[in-house]
Structure 1
């Protein structure tokens, strides 16, 4: 059955909340934050044994492809699908679907992320196998994460009726997708017990997702059809360059999933998942010292210092702290970030401010 199963890694994001380490020319999937492997390398590593390397595709922008290929040279160069410019995840998924359908009309594609952390690799592979089985029954499958706290930075998925058991997992019909809530709403969703975090990972047959593009995003579907006709021909690059800028940016969540038919969720309870979306999120992934401090490539000496993250680009640079707690300290050589942990989500706003004030050199 796995001969028709393919992985598509979306690897074109920026990760602005991890500034100043994450930059335009080195987004977060290229960073070594949680191990000596980059997040992208870890994303490809956890597919080994489930997907042959020639069944792993990467969708990214051209200026990131060279570095990603260096990091995972085992993936065939022809499996890198290059979008001329970012146009949202809907177009990424659509482009990958038409490319895969030309190769294998029976393909089931797992749409995966390049910049998340998953501790339980065996459990992750099991849930993908279960999702493939469900996807072959015409369902669009999304992977939900069992929430552990009232997160306001994630979207939520509400489950409905039990559809059955697939592998070691229960499958539920999706009632609705919900946008990122405020804290009060998030607490209510957690107490209800019928909501999962939206992981942003999906599994479906390529022909099934194209039905939804045709039904819900007709304009994008027509554009993808034209691109598909040119794929593998002498005018592939020219067609893509001409048509891609005309695509209206949209996410797969808003463009397709919220109003799709036959949507199911498989809950992942013990995956050890984190989207590594902000500096504060690393406290959920990395072990701290006896005082709760986290050091990333840093020499750190602290007096009365607790629950503080210290990260430097230079492993020989000494950072000394006295009498601080709950801080984020990140030294990227040409830029230094210091902020309270509670304000870690505001780094995205800071990046916008840098752009508005002419500090593009630091983006």
Structure 2
């Protein structure tokens, strides 16, 4: 039984001032007429029905979620009382989903990523799920084939000499490296390690080596495996969650609010993936991007003849290479290059594009 778990509790601070604590980027229409969470749910539906799609989020975003994904069953909304990073978030969700579907496998994915080729995305998930059905203690991650030197992503290093076929054990063969013979042309490799965001020289080295992929933060594994590995490597989190889920239904919410803040505050990469043994990666090519900063909007939004991204009622006169986002009022940019201008409910922000990666720092300074 394959279910989906969408993580939708982040604050999206790098998209400030449009993304706010009250309405973060997963609930915004950044790339078109649908919000990021709506796009994420929609691309899953050809494979996973809405009754098996779960969303974990913060209590303050539940109403937004219900408004934007109207068909989502209320029991499929998993509420974190407090954000404690991805490892406890996924473990909490695995406990929850296991109570509804006792033998569930889950594909875990963020709510705010772009996928260009939805059919290929579905095909890749199906391929990974088939592997998990045959290797029940395994973990499959989707690694994105890099097409540029990127310092904003983590990377996955894989062993190119060990390719795995869905219906067999690990094969060590030069001939098997490029393709495992499956009609879809997909294959799995043994993961050697997860590495943090590199500097530019290191990123270039990774690209040249050819056995590094971008870490898209997407995993396919059984709920039982999530729980087992949480017990092994994050025993404090496991013990707290086990105690919470042993509570009677009438006491569950109070127990969750009381105990959950004491789970480990750690990412799934640090807490589990760097320690687990049976991790495999599918090199994936479905047109993925982490819509993490305003640079991503520049990559995918239409541009005018002077390379300006214009959203809303905007005009660029003798201006080029700008990102201009208007909400309620017209914005006119004259004689400026390489700037971004963003209007939100509370503020109009003007800055040089070179400072986009400093958005979180700038937000903190403005908020003082």
- Report the equivalent of 1:260: 276
Please state how far the C-alpha of 1:152 moved relative to its aligned partner.
0.7
Q: Deviations over 1:298-353 (max 9, x none)?
A: x2222221111100111xx2222222222211111421222222221110111222
Q: Structure 2 matches for 1:34-49, cutoff 5 A?
A: 34-49=31-46
1:92 aligns with 2:108: no
Report the 3-state secondary structure (helix = DSSP H, G, I; strand = E; otherwise coil) of the residue aligned with 2:249.
Answer: coil
- Report the equivalent of 1:208: 225
Normalising to structure 1: TM-score of the pair?
A: 0.93
Q: Deviations over 1:228-276 (max 9, x none)?
A: 222x62111121011111123111111111111100111112x221111
Q: Deviations over 1:12-50 (max 9, x none)?
A: 001101000000000000111101111011111111121
Report the 3-state secondary structure (helix = DSSP H, G, I; strand = E; otherwise coil) of the residue aligned with 1:125.
Answer: helix
Q: Structure 2 matches for 1:104-253, cutoff 5 A?
A: 104-136=101-133, 137=135, 138-160=137-159, 161-164=162-165, 165=180, 168=184, 169-230=186-247, 233-253=249-269
RMSD: 1.4
Q: Deviations over 1:60-106 (max 9, x none)?
A: 11110111111011010111011111111111100111112222222
- Report the equivalent of 2:173: none
Counterpart-to-counterpart distance in 2, 1:167 and 1:36 = 35
- Report the equivalent of 1:79: 76
Tell me if structure 1 keeps the 8 A contact 2:143–2:214.
yes
Counterpart-to-counterpart distance in 2, 1:141 and 1:289 = 41
Counterpart-to-counterpart distance in 1, 2:88 and 2:40 = 21
Counterpart-to-counterpart distance in 1, 2:305 and 2:80 = 46
Q: Structure 2 matches for 1:321-336, cutoff 5 A?
A: 321-336=333-348
1:281 aligns with 2:282: no
Tell me if structure 2 keeps the 8 A contact 1:126–1:167.
no
Q: 5+ residue gaps in structure 1?
A: 358-363
- Report the equivalent of 1:14: 11
Counterpart-to-counterpart distance in 2, 1:141 and 1:182 = 27
Tell me if structure 2 keeps the 8 A contact 1:328–1:340.
yes
- In the comparison of the two structures, how many residue pairs are matched? 348
Change beyond 3 A, Cα 1:343–1:33:
same
Moved over 3 A (4+): none
Normalising to structure 2: TM-score of the pair?
A: 0.92
Counterpart-to-counterpart distance in 1, 2:314 and 2:59 = 38
Counterpart-to-counterpart distance in 1, 2:138 and 2:301 = 36
